[in-house]
C-alpha cells in the first residue's frame, strides 16, 4: 500500500495532468464556439445571459418613494398609519373609527 506522501505526490501529478488537458481542450472548444458563432451569425450579446428577467426598470423604480399620507390616526397618542404594512394594535376591530377625514 502507498504511503501518505506517495499519494500526495500522485495527486499533484494528476492535478498537473488535469490542468494541461484542460488548457489544450479549452483552446479547441473556444475555436469551435467561434466557428459556430460565425456560421449562425451570432453575437456575444446573443449568447451572454441577461442580467435580469422581466420588463426593464425605469429610473423612478430605483429611487425612493415618497411616504403615503396617513389614513388613520389614534386621537389619544397622535400615531398615524397609512393603511400599508402591518396593522397597528390600536386600530382594533373597527378601524373606521380612526379614519382621517379627506379634505
38 phi and psi angles, rounded to 5 deg: -70, -45
Q: Residue 91's domain is classified under what CATH number?
A: 4.10.430
Residue 75 pLDDT > 70, yes or no? yes
Would you say residue 59 lies in a domain?
A: no
Residue 62 placed within a domain:
no
Report the number of distinct structural domains present in the chain. Answer: 2
Residue-number span of the structural domain to which 27 is assigned: 4-47
- Residue 34 covered by a domain: yes
Q: What's the gap between Cα 35 and its chain centre?
A: 33
Q: What is the pLDDT of residues 18-73, one digit of tens each?
A: 999 999 899 899 999 999 999 999 888 888 877 766 666 665 555 677 888 999 99
Element (H or E) spanning 81, and its range? strand 80-81
40's grid cell: 449562425
Give dist(CA 103, CA 83) in Å, integer: 17
* Position 60 in a domain: no
Strand partners, 73: 80
The pTM score is 0.39
Amino acid at each position: 500500500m502507498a504511503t501518505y506522501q506517495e499519494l500526495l505526490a500522485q495527486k499533484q501529478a494528476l492535478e498537473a495532468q488535469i490542468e494541461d488537458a484542460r488548457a489544450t481542450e479549452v483552446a479547441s472548444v473556444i475555436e469551435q464556439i467561434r466557428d459556430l458563432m460565425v456560421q449562425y451569425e451570432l453575437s456575444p450579446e446573443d449568447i451572454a445571459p441577461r442580467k435580469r428577467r422581466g420588463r426593464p426598470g425605469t429610473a423612478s423604480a430605483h429611487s425612493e418613494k415618497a411616504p403615503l399620507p396617513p389614513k388613520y390616526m389614534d386621537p389619544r397618542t397622535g400615531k398615524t398609519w397609512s393603511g400599508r404594512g402591518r396593522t397597528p394594535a390600536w386600530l382594533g376591530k373597527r378601524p373606521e373609527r380612526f379614519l382621517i377625514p379627506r379634505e
